[in-house]
Amino acid sequence: MVIGKIIGNVWATRKDESLNGLKFMIAQLENGEKIVVCDYIGAGTGDMVLITKGSGARKVLENESIPIDAVTIGIIDGFEEGE
Amino acid sequence: MVIGKIIGNVWATRKDESLNGLKFMIAQLENGEKIVVCDYIGAGTGDMVLITKGSGARKVLENESIPIDAVTIGIIDGFEEGE
Amino acid sequence: MVIGKIIGNVWATRKDESLNGLKFMIAQLENGEKIVVCDYIGAGTGDMVLITKGSGARKVLENESIPIDAVTIGIIDGFEEGE
Amino acid sequence: MVIGKIIGNVWATRKDESLNGLKFMIAQLENGEKIVVCDYIGAGTGDMVLITKGSGARKVLENESIPIDAVTIGIIDGFEEGE
Amino acid sequence: MVIGKIIGNVWATRKDESLNGLKFMIAQLENGEKIVVCDYIGAGTGDMVLITKGSGARKVLENESIPIDAVTIGIIDGFEEGE
């Protein structure tokens, strides 16, 4: 998984029907890269989130045939980094 | 998912039969990388699109045994990035 | 697989229910990148671990529908690099 | 998918049995990276090809249990990039 | 697939049980990155090998539920790169 900061939202009226009702947010990853995640946890702009990518992302969906490849699986309360 | 700008088309007469009838476009990603996407949404050059990569890309197809790994799942109307 | 050094822990109270009881740690990879791994081996901060990413990560789980994409599969005793 | 230029061949006598009879070529991608592709289209050195990576690569095979992760799916006739 | 040079071995006594008996080697890829591969071909330090990554790696295993994501599928005799 990767840690990302939610920095905004993205809208697409013209999209695959199976995506209707899903919320798409922009997350900035630790290496600066920006990706789009499907938010399942109720994250908001500014939240630090835990993101799963690839086929694992569809495991949170009841219907695994929805074409997404990145999802928020948790809102991070804190992390501790020791040397 | 990633956000990309559609910057052109690509043609291949000699290709896997299962690809016949599919439309291939070049998308430039946020980090400058260029990839080829199968367009399912009717995107045109200049459109900003939402792209799913990997096995998720085949979920938009009726026949999941078509060998693609990147697809457009939405045309972006707008995005809002806050700090 | 990749080699990583466990450098800390991450907590998320608000998370996908299927993740309850799992331990999430931060691993720094050889190229400096930081990822989050689900620890199945009992690794601690400072341990060098062997990490599997992608769908393979869910093979260690009894329930493969848990949305993770990186897991520790071993604690490294040693490695030998010759030219 | 990605676009690559076929720049050579690679041979491996000692290999997984399921690979016997398959043709392996070196492709240089747009970002300079070199990967090995299984050629299914009859590409030759110098050809620009369309490459599928990951599990999608095995969709061109009759036997999907062959351990490959990159395949040529088309020989590119031309591409048009507009601003 | 990618080409890598085997530069060493890695040992992990404490590991997932399903990995017992498997041989783990360090491979340096063309771009300098070091990954760990499960060796199925009998490669030795100094050998140039062909590596499959991702879910394809588990296709060489009788038991596909072993949590690996990179495997050697061939020892390279030679490669020819033309312009």
- CB distance C19–A56 less than 8 Å? no
Domain containing E61 equals 2-75
Per-residue H/E/C for A41-82: CCCCCCCEEEEEEHHHHHHHCCCCCCCCCEEEEEECCEEEEC
Q: Which residues of E touch D (CB under 8 A)?
A: 1-3, 30-31, 40-42, 50, 52-57, 59-60, 71, 73-83
Q: Residue E80 domain-assigned?
A: no
State yes or no: pLDDT of C83 exceeds 70: no
List residues bridging with A78 in a β-sheet.
Answer: C11
* pLDDT at residue A72 in the model: 98
Q: Residue B52 domain-assigned?
A: yes
- Residues from chain B that touch D2, judged by Cβ atoms under 8 A, are 35-36
Q: Are D67 and D20 in contact (CB under 8 A)?
A: no
Q: Are B51 and B73 in contact (CB under 8 A)?
A: yes
Beta-carbon contacts of D32 under 8 Å, excluding residues fewer than 6 positions away, are none
Q: Residue C83 domain-assigned?
A: no
- CB distance D66–E59 less than 8 Å? yes
Cβ neighbours around C2 below 10 Å, total:
21
- pLDDT, tens digit (0-9, with 9 covering 90-100), for B22-60: 999 999 999 999 999 999 999 999 999 999 999 999 999
Chain B residue with minimum CA distance to A54: B54
Q: Residue B80 domain-assigned?
A: no
Q: Residue C71 domain-assigned?
A: yes
The predicted complex's ipTM stands at: 0.94
Q: Residue B82 domain-assigned?
A: no
Torsions phi, psi of E77, nearest 5? -80, -45
Residue E83: band (very low, low, confident or very high) from pLDDT cuts 50, 70, 90 = low
Best mutation target, E6, E29, E50, to test chain D (most D CBs within 10 A): E50
- Residues from chain E that touch D21, judged by Cβ atoms under 8 A, are none
Q: Residue E82 domain-assigned?
A: no
Q: In whole angstroms, what is the distance from residue D25 CA to residue D39 CA?
A: 7
Q: Residue E65 domain-assigned?
A: yes
Helix (H, G, I), strand (E, B) or coil at E82: coil
* pLDDT at residue E82 in the model: 77
Beta-carbon contacts of A53 under 8 Å, excluding residues fewer than 6 positions away, are A1, A2, A35, A69, A70, C69
Tally of structural domains, chain B: 1
| Both structure tokens of A7 | 């920095």
Q: In whole angstroms, what is the distance from residue D34 CA to residue A49 CA?
A: 34
Q: Are D11 and E76 in contact (CB under 8 A)?
A: yes
Q: Are E40 and E60 in contact (CB under 8 A)?
A: yes
Residue E38: band (very low, low, confident or very high) from pLDDT cuts 50, 70, 90 = very high
State yes or no: pLDDT of C80 exceeds 90: no
For range D46-69, the mean pLDDT: 94
Q: Is beta strand D48-53 parallel, antiparallel or unpaired with respect to C24-29?
A: unpaired
**The domain that contains E20 carries what CATH number?**
2.40.50.220
Beta-carbon contacts of A32 under 8 Å, excluding residues fewer than 6 positions away, are none
Q: In whole angstroms, what is the distance from residue A47 CA to residue A24 CA?
A: 14
